[in-house]
A and B are shown apart, each in its own frame.
Chain A
């Protein structure tokens, strides 16, 4: 606390830190609000303390997050800068121009931090956006930015209220360089405990209403809200108000997906998020209309392969319900486009070593997101003949050298030791 008070007295702090690494300065410009940088030493827990602090009513509108701290992991120049600035462990809050607004060794109380942020001239982003949207009701971009901030605020508060632990880092995540398969989604609770109506209205009422307002306005597809950040998922499943909004809006999102380019990542991401919040299985007729052969021209399927996120969501449905028909259709639709009939993976050539390294790094995600679910879907629907074909292809992939071991393990997990041998033939 003493260090904090001292810092506030030092006017030099409010000047722009001229030696701040340029790459980091660029990153700050991209943030919605101020950025917090935390430098931990052994025994400190500044990062976890910030989670509670940021959810506090006094600070919730400032949208404080630790985005910037991720940079410390690989940006040694930044770490050295922060260490110089702090003289050891501690925290810094910088604005989007790179100006150090505040810094300290331990966090002050929420009310005090909020007062100091205001004193440093920082208007809470949520307040700035609310005023702006009132003056510009047709400004879809600002409306979505505000909606996302409201969503984050409600998520933080719900997390604290329901004691939802922060998302652990995916041990299999490798940096997703070449593959479209995302990390395993955070599992939703089997039966999320609903917030009581009063709490729900206080925490989620404004979000649910804004979501409806935006997705029921014309041209909403020009600015698609993004709720997919792992940090604040899946707290909304505890909100009956959000569930109701999500259920009401899913048909609109599906209608746009049917019309808009079928591989719009942002739109699919929204579909997956709303579906999870709504807690409903995917609409079968909608899925069928998105399969490559839903439109056939001159005997050939005319639509692209199904979206990877959507496949993962439908596979998750199948694991829950035991009904694998939709998942199988989608996975085979993906297969149909990605692996044209009879084609085999190209054999590795000299000079491919670097490329193979990249693919190997992503092969875990591809195995988990694509190959393993395809085989599982085929086994669960008694389509073993086709599973042999898939296994043969997987074994021939130059970037999956341990394919045989993986296949055996999967067959055993599925309770089919007989296939363990056949998949290796």
Chain B
């Protein structure tokens, strides 16, 4: 059935509308177009930009959403750029009788056009069009939810995440840093217990691309990072903030939502780092009460690097319960503590921290054919290679040889000799490097 839907209000400041109705559901409609329209949200309109290579509106619109006032809508979920003369863009234009020229429209899943223009809009025009079409910046919606449930930790966390995104995008604009590539996955990837590394967070793209950076001026810092830092500090001051999240016994991989607040931009913001210190103090206090909480350790690890807070003194201040003693500190933390001990050149301590981990890795590697995949190059780099270095630093060459032999006996990753050779060479052990080369 071909449905005709009434036109709705056009944005008052948008240019005159050529058409107010998109027809939906025609049997003769090209399949891609039908699918495209069917997938548009019915709750609120989607901003569709028909672009041409010459006009480059896609880039222009994206830039608009990274600056005030439209930044309030960032990250823009309902934003689609289509080529005006190709594919779905061409099908849409043909059906509506439009020329293949740049055009933008706000259209919902019912096919209703809320605004449409062939003029490239200013930020103000687009903001007004979005508001008139019923869009509200996400933060506004969260404030409304919080007004109804001020104590709701879930809403508070969403608000924190939102404030963080805004601070990040505004800082990026202020420092004229290039836009990031699309990042997939969540900010945090926390695993519990054995064999996983808390510090192995998804590598967020370095916005500074390896350059040395300076702190923002105090005025800029307060303007850009003040709201986030204040909300974060308030959050961890609540008694219930560290309530055990999902996943302790069920859906154990799902730690989503447990305070994913780490950002590489903390490197330029003293205000943000100050808030991290408050979070770390609260986290450490909570960890002393629940020392094996994977979620709390994940949070601690994600923030501690920014404020140079070492792990070993914290571990020394904690008492594991008798039931957790045998596996204390948790395997994943032992690796981090090992890295700290290595940095401090405490080789025997570093060895004591990696020893069990190594033995367990070999044990699992030998337990079944299926498990042999555990002895991968990644595991060598995480566990085997540091262990080898620790032994070499203590001039224990025969133990180092035994380590390599054990890895090979358990049919671990084959590239281990060349990696070991480079390591020996970098430590000035050229004779050994030559031997391993052979």
Contacts and interface: CB of A to CB of B under 8 A. Distances in A.
B242 A297 contact: no
A141 B326 contact: no
B431 to A, nearest CB: 36
Interface in B144-168: 144-145, 148-149, 151-155, 157
A419 interface: no
A25 B324 CA distance: 15
A139 B323 CA distance: 13
A298 B144 contact: yes
A21 B367 contact: yes
A221 B326 contact: no
B145 A295 contact: yes
Interface stretch (A38-46, A262-270, A395-403): A262-270
B244 interface: yes
A223 B286 CA distance: 10
A265 B246 contact: yes
A273 B371 CA distance: 38
A22 B363 contact: yes
A260 B249 contact: no
A162 to B, nearest CB: 27
B240 interface: yes
B172 to A, nearest CB: 28
A223 B239 CA distance: 13
A219 B251 contact: no
A97 B134 CA distance: 62
Nearest to A289: B149
A142 B288 CA distance: 11
A307 to B, nearest CB: 11
Given A141-B290, A295-B148, A260 B240 contact: yes
B121 interface: no
Given A128-B322, A129-B323, A265-B251, A222 B290 contact: yes
A29 interface: yes
B244 A222 contact: yes
A300 B43 contact: yes
Contact of A141 (B149, B151, B292): B292
Contact of A218 (B155, B157, B239): B239
A125 B323 contact: yes
A26 interface: yes
A298 B322 contact: no
Given A26-B194, A297-B144, A258 B322 contact: no
A32 interface: yes
Contacts, number: 134
A138 B285 CA distance: 10
B291 interface: yes
A259 B141 contact: no
A222 B245 contact: no
Contacts of A218: 239
B245 to A, nearest CB: 6
Contacts of B326: 29, 96-97
Contact of B257 (A145, A256, A261): A261
A222 B151 contact: no
Interface string A125-143: 1001100100010111110
A224 B289 CA distance: 12
A129 B151 contact: no
B249 A141 contact: no
B107 to A, nearest CB: 19
B217 interface: no
A49 interface: no
B406 interface: no
Nearest to B363: A22
Given A265-B246, A295-B145, A140 B257 contact: no
A109 B238 CA distance: 52
B13 interface: no
Contact of A256 (B243, B291, B324): B243
B364 interface: yes
Nearest to B134: A298
A259 B153 contact: yes
Given A219-B286, A222-B289, A141 B153 contact: no
Contacts of B245: 261, 264
Contacts of B327: 29
Interface in A291-349: 295, 297-298, 300, 302
Contact of A297 (B141, B157, B321): B141
A222 B292 CA distance: 11
Contacts of A123: 322
Given A222-B290, A260-B153, A265 B319 contact: no
Given A22-B367, A138-B288, A222-B289, A125 B43 contact: no
A297 B152 CA distance: 14
Contacts of A256: 240, 243
Contacts of A264: 243-246
Nearest to B158: A302
A262 B239 CA distance: 17
Contacts of A265: 246-251
A180 to B, nearest CB: 8
Given A142-B321, A259-B240, A261-B154, A226 B145 contact: no
B136 interface: yes
A261 B246 contact: yes
B286 to A, nearest CB: 6
A23 B367 contact: yes
Contacts of B246: 261, 263-266
A269 B249 CA distance: 10
A14 to B, nearest CB: 17
B304 interface: no
A140 B290 contact: yes
Contact of B242 (A29, A142, A219, A295): A219
B366 interface: yes
B322 A266 contact: no
Contacts of B371: 22
Contact of A223 (B134, B244, B319): B244
Give the top 6 A-B pairs by smallest Cβ distance, nearest first: A221-B243, A142-B321, A22-B367, A128-B322, A260-B243, A140-B289
19 contacts: A23-B367, A96-B326, A128-B323, A129-B321, A132-B319, A132-B321, A139-B321, A221-B242, A222-B242, A223-B289, A259-B153, A260-B243, A261-B157, A261-B243, A263-B246, A265-B246, A265-B249, A266-B244, A302-B155
Interface of B: 43, 134, 136, 141, 144-145, 148-149, 151-155, 157, 193-194, 239-240, 242-251, 257, 286, 288-293, 319, 321-324, 326-327, 363-364, 366-368, 371
Given A224-B243, A226-B249, A261-B154, 13 more contacts: A132-B319, A132-B321, A132-B322, A139-B319, A140-B290, A141-B324, A259-B243, A261-B153, A261-B245, A264-B244, A295-B145, A297-B141, A298-B136
Interface of A: 21-23, 25-26, 29-30, 32-33, 77, 96-97, 123, 125, 128-129, 132, 136, 138-142, 145, 218-219, 221-224, 226, 256, 258-267, 269, 295, 297-298, 300, 302
